[in-house]
Structure 1
Amino acid sequence: MANISSGALDAIQTATIEDNQKKQKSSNDKYHFDKLKLFFGEDYYVHGIKISQPTIGDILDIGEAKFYTAISPFINNSTSIRLMLFNLGVENWCKVKDIEVYNLLSQIPEQDYSPLHLIFHDVNFLDYKIVPYTDENSEEQFGLYNPESNILLSENEYMEIAEYIRTIMNIHPKVEKAKGRTTRDWMRQEDQMNLSMKKPDDNSESNLLPIISALTNHPGFKYKLEELKQVKIYQFYDAVQRLQIYEQTHALMGGSYSGFCDTSKIDKEQFNFMREI
């Protein structure tokens, strides 16, 4: 790797992150899901494939680690697995599409993907295999094809499914792209360093437990443990964010009335705990 000053690396990192945050926002805005239907846990359909939301109890029964591992092909993108791609001989992760990431991660030997039935009740999504095809504009694309049902999902339809799963699970992988090889090398080295510093038992830690513990011990949370098992995952994360907004609003109101907070430069919408999340 070429020698670059720490200041130059900081500048590259800042510019890269800012640029890709803009790109990521525009990418996510492409898919618009009915938030009210999401909140009530209604099924969603893409090309006739029904996508359902699991409840907290469903995830508890199947096992949190097993469930998150099973959905990882839909959650990850090339940025989040760029070190893996490099080790497989892929020099530039920026050119790898999300549908290719799905194809790679969904074919890991001895991996248990059975928890996907919590999301896809009527089909085995692993029956869909990646294939090249030519679209209506005569452009080469990747799609997912099920030979048994003779159904071809376009890349856009796959992305709609992936974004829906990311939305209900409140997980949106960051997107980092780098134009030059030097920057890519630096990012991969950073990933390698972070991996080497990771504790061996980090994967055994629960993502949901700290959140559930905080919520159930908060006086404003209405669900008891047994009731929480029946809550759909999107509604659960909505409750998490709404409670955070309520506490922030309450703190702002308290600060404004006490005179310790200058509210003149604060957006008035921040005082509305019923605002859109």
Structure 2
Amino acid sequence: MYTQPTTSTERKPWTVPMLAQAKRDGRRLAMLTAYDAGFARVMDQAGIDLVLVGDSLGMVVQGRDSTLPVVIDDIVYHTACVARGLSSALLLSDLPFQADATPGRALDAATRCLQAGAAMVKLEGAGSKLEVIRFLVEREIPVCAHLGLTPQSVLRLGGYKVQGRDERAADTLRADALAVAAAGASLLVLECVPSPLAADITRALDIPTIGIGAGPQCDGQVLVLHDVLGLASGHRRPKFVKDFLAEGGSVQGAFSAFADAVREGRFPDADHSYA
């Protein structure tokens, strides 16, 4: 699926079953988004575990106001580019807006992503998406679920807001997390969720959670490439964003600093989390 390591000093390539083992071992996972081979190669060299071709490319690469205009052709193209730069990190691809509206559409989109080099696809939400998750997993396609703030729901949500603050919303989010895991998801991204709620969900699941604005108790953390490097995207910087280039001194140093901070439990701290 990826270019194989050429020397024995390179890291063993990540596989989907290794994610569950990492959770059992208490090993925190470091994930970043990437959109081309060059940055992907540096992430691999810096020890990043998971790389996501996110539909965030619509905002940080294409200059759009949201992720909604991104189409599967965009994701497949960038997945193929990123895959050429990786030798050990596990590559995930986002299923963009409405590409997973039905099981059949999701299968077509996910197949293209895996054929381009991904090892897993990510989709947002629960509810009707549970059928989609089961459908994909039954057809040998690993799935990462995404709950909390789901950017593809921005119109319904009325903006980019923290989710799960009241008791009813928190109970729904807990139930959805259990449901996506039961449907077969191997990984769960929690975005903009209060830290105590994310910690509860993380403890309740056998699959790893990856937080983005979800506090320090998740099993791993993800940030957007441009945010890690302190690059202005033209959009408001969320509270959970941190510029790691300032302390890393170089692009590779920034990626290494992020990975080290995640694994050592130093990021995110209270200043980069929601209570």
Query: By the TM > 0.5 criterion, same fold?
Result: no
Highest CA radius of gyration, 1 or 2?
A: 1
Q: TM (normalized to structure 2)?
A: 0.30
- Name whichever structure is richer in strand by fraction: 2
Structure with the larger RCO, 1 or 2 (CA within 8 Å, 6+ apart): 1
- Name whichever structure is richer in helix by fraction: 1
